[in-house]
Amino acid sequence: MRNFWRAFRYLVTVHVAGLLLLSLFRLVLFFKGYAYVSGEADPEAVPAVAFLRGIWFDNVVACYVLLLPLLAVSVAALFNYGSRTFFRIVNGWFIFFYTWLFLISAADIPYFAYFFKHLNASIFNWMSYGGTTLGMMFSESSYYSSIVLFLVATALFVLIAVRACRKAVYDKFDVPDLKQRGGILVMACLLVGLCLFGIRGRMGYNPIKVSAAYYCGNPFLNQLGINPAFNLLRSTLEASKKENQYIRFMDEAEALAYTKKALRIENEDIEERGFVRHVAASDTVIRPNVVLVFMESMSADFMARYGNTENLTPFLDSLARQSICFDSIFSAGIHTNHGVYATLYSFPAIMKRNAMKGAVIQNYTGLPNLLQNAGYRTLYFMTHESQYDNMNGFFRTNGYDEIYAQEDYPSDKVVNSFGVQDDFLFEYALPVLTRTYEEGVPFFATLMTVSNHPPYVIPSSFSPRSADTEKQIVEYADWAMRRFMDEASRQPWFDHTIFVFLADHGKLVGEVDSEMPLSYNHIPLMFYSPLLPSPRTVNVLGGQIDVAPTLLGIMGWEYENRGLGVDLLREERPCIFFTADDAVGCIDDSHFYIYRPAEEQEWLYATGGKRWVDETATQPDALHRLKTYALSMLQSAEYLVSRNLTTGK
């Protein structure tokens, strides 16, 4: 047993030495970027927190390196095998991998200083220019300090590891008996379990992601805690996924020219600035509070307004009659991340890709940023963990000051893997909004409900009329929103607030009408406020990408529109496009076009009657028109996103 503890002490020594030296690289990066922290007014921007989170991320990477040696040492201990050769092999493993970790951390310092982001999969684009890259590294004198740091850290680690290794070699005469071997087995299982937990990084529903490093409003401190090797590995894995491969639906130049004309984009320097449309201010400009509510899976087909006869949404139907209500709106995709991304930043969902989830977080100029830059407090309330879909990191990078998530709520309010229920989310948000208002700051609050997503939990305080659980949960979601608006109407900020209600995406409701059921994408969109003129119905075609321009148009603001959305109260689209993972859809007032690129299959349906008619073979002009519109928009979006032309910076 003493031999096992001797070997264990060696593993701990190497592990701790690795963590300390990785923290040394972070300390150097901190001092090089100190200007980003100096004068920071955010009380949450405490550098020590970034270093603690950095140790957390470093430990994840270190546990990956530790796992195999821990298993090997544990098995060897059972058989009292701990020769000098064995431990030299184990030590060689540590030295090899930590040398790479130190090399990545050293290279990350000048890379971060130049790009303001950690090493990521994009560096592999330089592999074909090996000579040029090496020349750049060794010709630039400012890189020498990082090279020296790498050499010093590696030498220190080798020295510590070799000394610890010498002390780990077994006393071959100290043979464990059966009882001691049982103890070794129990301890080994416990230690391996802890190591696997270290790799996972946390106890929650999701393993650790880049988002876990984000904790304040300072972008430098938020990134400081991320381990460069972790970031490089995650971004490489993300880039290798099929859904993240560059799409090539059509010729890029043709797509850009078509989209530019369709959206009336006048700037010629698209390859440098992306799409830029200057929107002039209206005669009347208002600065209301804005509350945007994403309703989970709330297909328009659940509402009586759109033909449902089961009275599932009496509140939403009533609200629609009191709002500026858009009846022909379609979600960008069929997942929450698609709907949130498209609504807030006016870029479409590109097939099944999750634009928020990458290890390298892209910057966008969207609704949160515009309002934040205009002095608004921007807040996001979600029911689940903040790491879900990388939301914490993505939103803090792209315009949100405060994130409220499962970590902030009482544990007894968590009802399933998606956190708290809708009514509690609304109940929690109201006093936060009132406090913000009392501070004299206008706010933009986004609330993302989740109850209408399995696993369904119907609270005991609610009595549904339906027998079917899937309908009961829709009734509950509607009831929770009624309670929210009733309580909001009693708040001092209510009369000066615009409420936006829309679904993140739809759901399969009723009969399947095509290979791409429209109930998944047809969603309600309502703008309600005492500030707005009399209620009205708007029948123009639109999508979630149009929500932000339409809202800013209602407010009368001057701004630069850098997305693909339009103000639906001032412009009309000839059709609207959307996706459903592996399919593209485009609909106008008479036809619905569906395209599955992987199979090269396409359909065109005439939608005028109760039963749709397949006109794929008989209406080639309509098919070509809708296909060109949809694929041009998606190809243009891919061009802009892939080249980071999504912001004015």
505 labeled binding residue: yes
Alpha carbons 522 and 306: distance in angstroms, whole number:
10
Query: What is the amino acid identity at position 537?
Result: T
Give 177's strand partners. none
Alpha carbons 594 and 613: distance in angstroms, whole number:
13
Query: What is the amino acid identity at position 1?
Result: M
Query: What is the amino acid identity at position 483?
Result: R
581 labeled binding residue: no
178-200 and 2-32 are packed helices; what angle lies between their axes, rounded to 10 degrees? Answer: 20
Nearest of 484, 408, 402 to residue 449 by alpha carbon: 484
Nearest of 105, 9, 110 to residue 57 by alpha carbon: 105
646 is catalytic: no
Exactly one of 313, 336, 343, 365 is catalytic; name it.
Answer: 336
Q: Are 573 and 549 in contact (CB under 8 A)?
A: no
Q: Would you state the structure tokens that stand for residue 524, as one six-digit string? A: 């309600």
336 labeled binding residue: yes
Sign of the dihedral defined by the CA atoms of residues 536, 591, 550, 363, in that order: positive
Q: Would you state the structure tokens that stand for residue 310, as one six-digit string? A: 């089961």
Q: Would you state the structure tokens that stand for residue 33, as one six-digit string? A: 């970027």
384 labeled binding residue: no
Query: What is the amino acid identity at position 644?
Result: N
Q: What proportions of the chain, in percent to the nearest 5, are helix, strand and coil?
A: 50, 15, 35
504 labeled binding residue: yes
Beta-carbon contacts of 344 under 8 Å, excluding residues fewer than 6 positions away, are 366, 367, 368, 398, 399, 446, 548
Alpha carbons 146 and 157: distance in angstroms, whole number:
16
SS3 assignment, position 170:
coil
Query: What is the amino acid identity at position 289?
Result: N
**What are the binding residues for Mn(2+)?**
296, 336, 504-505
**What are the binding residues?**
296, 336, 453, 504-505
**Catalytic (active-site) positions:** 336
**What are the binding residues for substrate?**
453
